[in-house]
Amino acid sequence: MRDFATLFATLDQTTKTTLKTKALAEYFTRAADEDKLWTIALFSGRRPKRAVTTTQLREWAAESAGVPLWLLEESYPIVGDLAETIALILPPAETCSDLSLSYWINWLRSLSNVSPEDRKMLILTAWNQLETTERFLFNKLITGGFRIGISQKLMTRALAQATGQDEASLAHRLMGGWTPESTSYHALIEAEDKAADLSRPYPFYLAHQLDDLPENLGNPVDWQAEWKWDGIRGQLILRGGGHHVWSRGEELITDRFPELARARDFLPDGTVLDGEIVTWDGTQPMSFNTLQKRIGRKTVPKKLLKDAPVILLAYDLLEDNGHDLRDTPLAQRRARLDALLQDLPSEAPVRPSQIIPFDSWQGLTQVRTRSRDMRSEGLMLKRRDSPYLVGRKKGDWWKWKLDPLTIDAVMIYAQQGHGRRATLFTDFTFAVWQGNELVPFTKAYSGLTDAEFNKITAWVRKNTLQRFGPVRQVRPEHVFEIAFEGIFESPRHKSGVALRFPRMSRWRQDKPVQEANTLEDLRAILAAHG
């Protein structure tokens, strides 16, 4: 564990990507295979099965530290992380040990076989031989969520440096439904494995936001334009007679969208499509709000299948006849995609995402203004000769979104953030006027600079009217411009509306509170864009 803790401390201490990659590559060179496998697993969001509940951990830690449980609970939101709170609150370890990362993981797994009393004793013994960072990591193994600023991309690069393998093919290997319990370092990284390859998606190619004028992209004939859909980016994989659906977050979501199984009836084996999963009313996508009802569900009731049916709007063909097409120029991939999809009947759950013809940037700029009518968020611009790259690479793919909708609202509640923002007030509730009353309609967490968060935090502390647990009601004095991507009717909210991706776009220090927008204004936006 000490070796892993040292690695963690090094990674955590620096903000420089090159140093992080170097430290990780060195670790991958020297660590034992089992530790390497678990490190890859942890940094790609996998974790051991939880052997102890967090409630038990809290109770045992408070008892061991000699503080009442409520005091640990009060400290938790301030520290911002339970594993860290426990690591900090425990008395210093009395002994030390140097057992490996995988030893402790296997040890934790064996806990499920012992009685609850013994489990407590074992955990206390473990805490008593780990120093603070080791303890934090040990607790993280139990509570999960190793978010420590290591992206999968960075880890893949380090692994490529350490093994001498190609980064892209390693990225491909790390995709998919593997767990450290079901594979080995050798099988995952080094060996050939046909069965696992069948389910494996390709790493997604992601577009950059276009902030410049499109004119700077050069000649329009080099570019392909499509609508930018507001759905779930996904890959549909048809191989070995079966099908798999992967989200961009590398989550296997095959079972959540059973409609897509029928793709096997219409498309040949050895096909991989990249596209957007959207709810479909027969002619166009339904609102994201409708799709939202499907997102959290692992099994889908019949009624929902009928009310919110999904299809894949396909815009790229990554594999055809079992051949990896990613190095083929987009224009050719697209021609083959169109050929594959052109004669499909309307009951097929896959449709091509239309290409928008245009001959000038000016003309396309006009088309873009109609995005909301098309139920889209704007346009995608893709260079016709571009290969399908890995990750977010600048230059070939751009998202050219509509400007967000905005409204000026009054801050009425504030709450402290978590993690790196734990000591700042960053989570706010906003309201608009209805007569003399302020009606809350949204929360927002992002959009301000650290300096602005510091300033507003100091203000919140001095202007708290009332506390409800962690939430503070503040003097209605500050106006913020709230930007959002969409607006929906929502009977669950007092205001009757719900926003899509709200954030603070500006702190309107110039605007008196009386001049913030009204509920009527908000309803007008709903009527126009909902």
Partner 1 sequence: MRDPVLTFTERGLYCPAGDFHIDPWRPVDRALITHGHADHSRSGHGRYLATTQAAPVIRHRLGAIALETINYGEVRRIGSAEVSFHPAGHIPGSAQIRVAVNGEVWVVSGDYKITPDGLSEPFEPVACHSFISECTFGLPVFKWQDQGAVAQELNAWWADNAAQGLTTLLGAYSLGKAQRMMSLLDTGIGPILTHGAVAATNAVLCAQGYALPESTQITPDLRIKDHPGAVVLAPPAALGTPWARKLGPASTGFASGWMRLRGVRRRRAADRGFVVSDHADWDGLLTAIRTTGAENIYVTHGYTEIFARALREMGWNAQVVPTEFGGDEDDTTADSA
Q: Rule CB under 8 A: which residues touch partner 1?
A: 12-15, 65, 67-68, 70-72, 74-75, 78-81, 84-85, 88-89, 136, 149, 418-424, 450, 454, 457-458, 461
Shortest reach from residue 124's CB to partner 1, in Å: 17
Residues 6+ apart with CB under 8 A from 441: 409, 430, 431, 432, 493, 494, 495, 497, 499, 519, 522
Which neighbouring-strand residues pair with 498? Answer: 488
Shortest reach from residue 89's CB to partner 1, in Å: 5
Neighbours of 186 (CB within 10 A): 10
166 or 477: whose CB is closer to partner 1?
477
Shortest reach from residue 421's CB to partner 1, in Å: 7
DSSP string, 334-363: HHHHHHHHTT--TTSSEEEPPEE--SSHHH
145 or 419: whose CB is closer to partner 1?
419
Shortest reach from residue 87's CB to partner 1, in Å: 9
14 or 129: whose CB is closer to partner 1?
14
Shortest reach from residue 240's CB to partner 1, in Å: 44
Tokens encoding 156:
């893949």
Shortest reach from residue 457's CB to partner 1, in Å: 5
14 or 163: whose CB is closer to partner 1?
14
CA distance 275 to 292: 17
135 or 172: whose CB is closer to partner 1?
135
84 or 319: whose CB is closer to partner 1?
84
Shortest reach from residue 401's CB to partner 1, in Å: 28
CA distance 318 to 324: 6
For residue 465, give the 3-state DSSP assignment.
Answer: strand
Shortest reach from residue 318's CB to partner 1, in Å: 36
Vertex 295 angle, CA 294 and 300, to 5°: 40
Shortest reach from residue 193's CB to partner 1, in Å: 37
User: Closest Cα partner for 97 from 120, 125, 121?
Assistant: 125
For residue 150, give the 3-state DSSP assignment.
Answer: coil
Shortest reach from residue 69's CB to partner 1, in Å: 12
Residues 6+ apart with CB under 8 A from 299: 255
123 or 424: whose CB is closer to partner 1?
424
128 or 518: whose CB is closer to partner 1?
128
Strand ranges (E), 394-516: 397-401, 405-416, 425-434, 437-444, 464-468, 471-474, 479-484, 486-489, 497-500, 503-507
For residue 327, give the 3-state DSSP assignment.
Answer: coil
Contact 384, 329 (CB under 8 A): yes
370 or 461: whose CB is closer to partner 1?
461
CA distance 490 to 435: 21
| Length, in residues, of the chain | 530
Tokens encoding 460:
């919140």
Could you give the maximum distance between any two Cα atoms of the chain, in Å?
74
CA distance from start to end of the chain: 53
32 or 71: whose CB is closer to partner 1?
71
